[in-house]
Amino acid sequence: MAQGTIARVGHWCFRRRWTVLGIWLVAVVLGGIAAGPVFARLVDNNNPRNVESVQAYEVLNREDDADENITGGTVIGLVDRIDPTDKRTLATLGAAARDLTAMPAVESAVCPCVPGAAEDPRMKAMLAADGRGALIVVTLNPLNREDRATVLQPIADRLHAVDSELAANGLADARVRVGGNPVLNQEINEQVQRDLTQAEILSLPITLIVLIIIFGGLVAAGLPVLAAIVSVATAMLVLLGFSYFTDLDQNTLTVVTLLGLGLSVDYGLLLVARYREELARGFAPDLAIARAWATAGRTILFSALTVAAALAGLLAFSISAISAMGAAGVSIAVVAMLTSLTFTAAMLGLTKRWVKPSKRAVRRQAALDAESETGFFARVSRMVQRRPVLVMVAVIGLLLAAATPLLSTVVKLPQLESIPRSIESADVANDLAAQYGQDYAASVMVVAKTTDTAALDAWAARWTGDDAVAEVLPAQTSNGHAATIELVLAGGSQDAAAQDLVERIRADRPDGVQSWVTGEAAILIDLVDQILDDLPLAIGMTLFAMLVLLFAMTGSLVIPIKAVLANVVSLGASFGIMIMIFQEGHGEQLLHTLTVGGFNPFVIVIVFAFAFGLSMDYEVFLLSRIKEYVGRGWDTDTAVRRGLQHTGKIITSAALLMIIVFSCFAAAKIGNIEQIGVGLTAAVLIDATLVRCLLVPATMTVLGRWNWWAPAPLARLHERIGLGEHVLPDDEAKQASTERSLVNA
């Protein structure tokens, strides 16, 4: 019989199924209740507040340093296909402006709704260049982010009502669209929610169909899907708790949902498959569950800890957006593991009469137990082992070739290019530039704690002839305690010249006053510098945890180092594919992707950390089975062949399921979600095919007995710790199973 903690957990949950299911039902209900508040608490901008470029906006956006309210911003009602001089139009726009001004959240509402507006410079800016449109500009009072939805919706509704009012006055062609930064941020969050919901709705039914094909039955197939739903629902409860300690943004929600679905489905697949395998060997259900949990359950424990270790490195970053994702990612890995080991065991106890192996599965298992090395993956293993050096060189060469686009990586903070034009406020932003001259002028801005604008203008005069500066705008006061001055850039907002200008301004600041330099180039510099400062500790934490866990599982020091190196090369290829798609625009029409011309540093860190963790996930799947055979006395080459023969189908199936989940996220409309989905899809596809099926067998064959080498002190430590589950040999276990059946009878 199987012994050990994990086996006992599985057996207890199998026997106490109703208690376990009741606990998880409560968790799911609470998670569903928590989902709404989680979305409401998402922040629009989660840049670190401890860097200069972000602190500059904090100074501008606050009436005083202790005020928790942020400026409300401006909502724009863009009315086009009208004659701005028509009396009916003027009356309708004027009535809307008065109604809006009367709202408690509105500071003012202005529109060109008086005769002769074209002669007033301020009003003229609200008239379209083609004479067929006008703006209603609504300035908001300061508001908290929790009040955003309730404040913005009535304003947007009143502006949209102008459309029907104009139609009622005989102006049927008129169209009203609502934009402005507050609305844009709100609509992005709503689109994120739609994207995540759509990904779940698309991925789960497809996953269920694939699982039915794999297992040949609906009940067995449904268990991993149910576990995934439970994990994601419970994760919302965890996220709500995190939101009270740190800011969460759309990226955090994306990766948690994505990881929860992917890991839970994979873990459920592995456990149910191993349980059916033990049943096919003739074990009674209660012994089969214990044996499955002692082997596959142990694998899942190490897998979840490995994924968590990969993400724990994110906790080393002082940028809250990254550290929050690390904490949430570690949590969902643990939640997925707990769900799989407890909920799945309970569900197997509930459905045991329907989860049985087919006669074909019994015959196949008998052939495997008879040491018959047949099937596709056995043939692949033999082919690789005949020419291991050639296969190893070929695979590494192919991966390095795919990684070559990394040499041209552009790091930037995407703006409107990462937002689909189907979002109304993004469409408004484009028309404001085209029709109202409100084109975005890239600039470097200096914020100074002074009201002496003349002194600031005198300081800025030195930059007038600079090659990177197109124009120096006059200084302006803000909030009565600070002044700003903008240097309009001659080139791109984040290119090398803009970044160089930021560095030069920071080295030559205005004298005698506290100042901050900001703008897109400054924010990018600060973010990248902060990430690079924290990166050594983050990588060190991840690698140390990874080496310790893989050593604990295998007793080898060589295998963990080899696994890390293989994953780094594999991830390089994944990033090369991402660069070709999102930076260079290859396949944009075919894949319906947004070309952003570069990569957000947050996305780079996210994809690397999560893809690294998932790659190690499959490493654990394969190594755990190989280690089983080595522990039984097989030589390494035979253990590799039989390990791949037993796990090849499971790894391929698990990878296929993850690819389905990630591809549904890649179909999102928001650029960041799209990039994360594509990046993780590419990483899993490469890892489950080239790396696990070819590179790992090839390198293990070349290394031979050196795979299991460790310094003598570490080897003795591993023997003493004994991190493993003990499973009785099949003959003894079957005898125990028979005796138990007789007793029960």
DSSP 8-state secondary structure symbol assigned to residue 585: -
**Which H helix or E strand runs over 486?**
strand 482-489
Please state whether beta strands 443-448 and 515-518 pair in parallel, antiparallel, or not at all (unpaired).
Answer: antiparallel
CA–CA separation, 39 and 43 (whole Å):
9
Poorest-pLDDT segment among 218-222, 579-583, 717-721:
717-721
For 536, other C-beta atoms within 10 Å of its C-beta total 10
Those residues whose C-beta lies under 8 Å from the C-beta of residue 202, and which sit 6 or more positions away, are 664, 667
pLDDT above 90 for 20: yes
pLDDT in tens, 53-100: 888 877 876 644 434 444 567 888 898 888 888 888 888 888 998 999
Cα–Cα nearest to 140, from 111, 177, 103: 103
Q: Residue 571 — φ and ψ, nearest 5°?
A: -70, -35
Task: Supply 428's token pair.
Answer: 């408004």
- Give the pLDDT of residue 18: 94
Query: What is the three-class DSSP state of 513?
Result: coil
Task: Supply 579's token pair.
Answer: 């660069």
pLDDT above 90 for 37: no
- Give the pLDDT of residue 66: 39
Cα–Cα nearest to 620, from 599, 647, 597: 647
CA–CA separation, 336 and 234 (whole Å):
9
Cβ-count burial of 625 within 10 angstroms (0-12 exposed, 13-18 middle, 19+ buried)?
Answer: buried
- Give the pLDDT of residue 339: 93
Task: Supply 324's token pair.
Answer: 């929050």
- Give the pLDDT of residue 742: 38
- Give the pLDDT of residue 744: 42
pLDDT above 70 for 628: yes
| pLDDT bucket at 403, cuts 50 / 70 / 90 | very high
Question: Of all residues in the chain, what percent carry a pLDDT higher than 90?
Answer: 11
CA–CA separation, 124 and 130 (whole Å):
12
pLDDT in tens, 599-627: 888 888 888 888 888 877 777 878 888 88
| Cβ contact 576:405 at 8 Å | yes
For 462, other C-beta atoms within 10 Å of its C-beta total 10
pLDDT above 80 for 660: yes
Helices 696-703 and 636-666, interaxial angle, to 10°?
160
Those residues whose C-beta lies under 8 Å from the C-beta of residue 451, and which sit 6 or more positions away, are 477, 480, 481, 482, 483
CA dihedral 723, 294, 685, 387 (to 10 degrees): 70
Please state whether beta strands 482-489 and 443-448 pair in parallel, antiparallel, or not at all (unpaired).
Answer: antiparallel
Average pLDDT, integer, range 663-669: 85
- Give the pLDDT of residue 146: 59
Q: Sign of dihedral through CA atoms 689, 690, 694, 699?
A: negative
pLDDT in tens, 118-131: 666 677 778 888 88
**Which H helix or E strand runs over 483?**
strand 482-489
What is the chain's mean pLDDT, rounded? 82
CA–CA separation, 215 and 205 (whole Å):
15
- Give the pLDDT of residue 732: 47
| Cβ contact 238:332 at 8 Å | yes
**Inter-CA distances, 9 with 228, 313, 719, 740, Å:** 20, 29, 24, 19
| pLDDT bucket at 337, cuts 50 / 70 / 90 | very high
Residue with tokens 């190893």: 392
| Cβ contact 113:193 at 8 Å | no
Those residues whose C-beta lies under 8 Å from the C-beta of residue 19, and which sit 6 or more positions away, are none
Domains of the chain with CATH codes: 74-179 (3.30.70), 374-420+555-710 (1.20.1640.10), 421-524 (3.30.70)
DSSP 8-state secondary structure symbol assigned to residue 494: S
pLDDT in tens, 477-534: 876 678 888 888 887 767 788 889 889 999 988 888 888 888 888 888 888 888 888 8
Query: What is the three-class DSSP state of 44?
Result: coil
Q: Residue 735 — φ and ψ, nearest 5°?
A: -65, -45
Q: What is the C-alpha end-to-end distance of the chain, expressed in Å?
A: 19
Residue with tokens 């002692």: 294
CA–CA separation, 658 and 664 (whole Å):
10
- Give the pLDDT of residue 396: 94
| Cβ contact 609:326 at 8 Å | yes
- Give the pLDDT of residue 441: 60
pLDDT in tens, 167-179: 888 888 888 999 8
- Helical H segments across 667-695, by residue range: 671-686
Average pLDDT, integer, range 324-347: 89
For 659, other C-beta atoms within 10 Å of its C-beta total 18
Q: What's CA 89's distance to the chain center, in Å?
A: 46
Task: Supply 304's token pair.
Answer: 């979840």
Task: Supply 390's token pair.
Answer: 């050639």
Q: Residue 131 — φ and ψ, nearest 5°?
A: 70, 15
pLDDT in tens, 642-654: 888 878 888 888 8
Average pLDDT, integer, range 352-363: 71
For 160, other C-beta atoms within 10 Å of its C-beta total 14
pLDDT above 90 for 355: no
